[in-house]
Structure 1
Amino acid sequence: MKNFKTLLVAAMVLLTFGSFAQKTDYGQVFVSQDWMQEHINDDNLVLLHVANPRTYPEGHLQGAISVMPQQYMVARDGLYWELPEEESFADSLQSLGIDKNSTIVLYYGGNSHAPTFRFFYTFDYFGMSDQVKILDGGLPGWIANDLPLTTEVPTVVAAADKIRLKPSKKKFADKEYVLRAQRKDKIQLIDARRDNYYSGSEKGDYKRGGHIATAKNICWEDIVDENMFLKDRATLAGYYSGIGLTPKTQVVSYCHVGLRASVIYTMARYLGYDARLYDGSFNEYDELDDSFAVENGN
């Protein structure tokens, strides 16, 4: 119950200050809480509660299925949180009842939005951007708006047909692409980690502190407000333009393992940028030779 009580306290704060007004410019990536209320009974809706499964029995949206993105990630070449194999992911989607006609809505069922954004990236990479959306505010916002929860577990019926995925390498970056980005003015690396890691003031377990050479910093936590709703579009756009991006700049995001980088990737897509995610992120880059340079400071 601890997690639920934490969310309830957050909801009380929201109600007190009235700061959970919804936006109208959600674009193609997000849906509002109002939209969710209107469509929660749609026959083709697949609603996914993205969080530690311990949060699910404490209360979730009607019809939501409990998932953890880790279930659909793999370890590969000493790295973890890597994209799954195409066939495996297609099987997983079929077992969740997802087919080519489904509208998929992801929401964060806890106090971190990053896993939900990572799941969005996975769908996007496999060519499903037209079918998948993120619920702004997630479960904390739903509670704040005093909307109903349930503890009932829906019956999940596998889809009759397996969906045909279309992986796009244009949404993925490997270490060689990172080197290319360092030489191209129209490609900008963005480090999604906190400033202490970006600047190198904290090294953690890495051999080399700092950030990938030429990278700028937008912290993944800065995308949402204290109530877990998206900040307004102008503020978000300012983060990207403020580091020198133009509408023609391609974004390549990274973090520690590729989880929080998905927040910066998703917001870049939301704002209209061409975007890729460096899945190996700093965990891989730190192990490479000195031709893969790092920098310190801001």
Structure 2
Amino acid sequence: MLSEKLEQLQAIFAEMGQALIAYSGGVDSTLVAKVAYDVLGDRALAVTAVSPSLLPEELEDAKIQAATIGISHQVVKTEEMANPNYTANPVNRCYFCKSELHDTLKPLAQKLGYPYVVDGVNADDLQDYRPGIQAAKERGARSPLAEVSITKMEVRQLSQQLGLPWWDKPAQPCLSSRFPYGEEITIAKLQRVGRAEIYLRQLGWQNLRVRSEVDTARIELPPEKITEFVVNTNLPEVVSKFQELGFLYVTLDLEGYRSGKLNRVLQVQ
């Protein structure tokens, strides 16, 4: 029962007494922040890490959501782009990203007197290739959603049940996930793909990805939206905008959007 899982989640925070939440503003970490605040009040703190892989619009969303919940919110900077192990974009890139995140959050938590750092990893995340989860575990972080086997669908159900207006917010992982493994990640590339996604959202397309490979952009939309996109969108205008952003070629993925699609390469190696 979902209500039982919520009670278990609340019990975890009650037992913690104080907690610092690694809070991206995504639906998972926002639910964690909400439950933590409901249980702990001012003994819960949400902290958002800012780097070039986070769009400014995402940071603003995180601030608004934290204020709506009522939880205290801080922003810190992380420097994963200074780590060549990260920018080289190896298959375990996320390990270096989460290492930097938790190497920043853990000392902050200790300094402020929070005995626990928690994140928004859910039960479904454990079924995918997520090297960042190992980095978090190595640094003592806890994942309450995963601990009580709450899935992504249940995250959305609980968020709606608790009155969070962003319960159906599309997933928005780090912009570095838009690049095939082995292609170097730069700030300019991150900004380019980020602006392209924002542009498409402004046109009304919310659940999407712009994958980037060298100078080619590949637009991914839900399969059922592809025909509508082709028929109702001014395609030359889209191409022109993407070229203004720095892409030479603009393509549409006929298979459609699938989370973690770039991990397929790992299955054939």
Alignment TM-score, normalising by the size of structure 1 = 0.29
Higher strand share: 1
Structure with the larger RCO, 1 or 2 (CA within 8 Å, 6+ apart): 1
Higher helix share: 2
Alignment TM-score, normalising by the size of structure 2 = 0.31
